């Protein structure tokens, strides 16, 4: 099974993909948008078809106290749009601290601030997908 990981931000959608066996995740791309989430659905559908994706994993940014805030509600709405249009399972994955973890990985890799800014969202999507795959593998 192949999985697609998504990190929905206010200006970008980080995208990661697994290998065909569903065990290894890698960064794929960053899609820029202007908070027009509807415009992202056809782009995601295109990726799903191109790579033969079986399941989507969407980051779910819950608050640190485990409550659901505004950003998490946006993810819930985006999940529904994807499911209605693409017709494959979309799973929400708790993404608390994924961007921080991605930042730490890039800093340890001695990536410049300018370059980090360009890849942080796809790296966060990769971490979201890895977390899901690791949880699923247990």
In Å, how far are 10, 22, 81, 92, 131 from 101, measured between CA atoms? Answer: 19, 22, 28, 18, 12
pTM here? 0.86
Could you read off the pLDDT of 6-24 as tens digits, one per residue? 999 888 999 999 999 999 9
Q: Assess contact for 116 and 107: CB atoms under 8 A.
A: yes
Phi/psi of residue 16, each to 5°? -135, 160
Mean pLDDT of 50-58: 97
Of 133, 73, 125, 72, the residue nearest 101 (C-alpha)? 125
Interatomic CA distance for residues 121 and 116, integer angstroms: 9
Q: What is the pLDDT of residue 98?
A: 65
DSSP-derived 3-state class of residue 90: strand
Could you read off the pLDDT of 63-121 as tens digits, one per residue? 888 888 888 999 999 999 999 999 899 999 988 766 666 777 767 777 777 776 666 67
């Amino acid at each position: 099974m192949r999985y697609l990981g998504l990190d929905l931000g206010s200006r970008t959608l980080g995208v990661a993909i697994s290998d065909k066996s569903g065990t290894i995740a890698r960064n794929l791309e960053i899609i820029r948008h202007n908070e027009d989430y509807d415009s992202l659905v056809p782009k995601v559908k295109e990726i799903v078809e191109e790579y033969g994706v079986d399941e989507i994993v969407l980051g779910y940014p819950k608050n640190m106290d485990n409550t659901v805030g505004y950003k998490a509600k946006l993810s819930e709405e985006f999940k529904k749009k994807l499911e209605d249009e693409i017709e494959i399972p979309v799973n929400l994955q708790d993404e608390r601290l994924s961007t921080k973890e991605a930042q730490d990985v890039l800093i340890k890799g001695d990536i410049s601030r300018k370059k980090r800014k360009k890849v942080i969202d796809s790296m966060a999507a990769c971490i979201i997908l890895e977390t899901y795959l690791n949880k699923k593998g247990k």
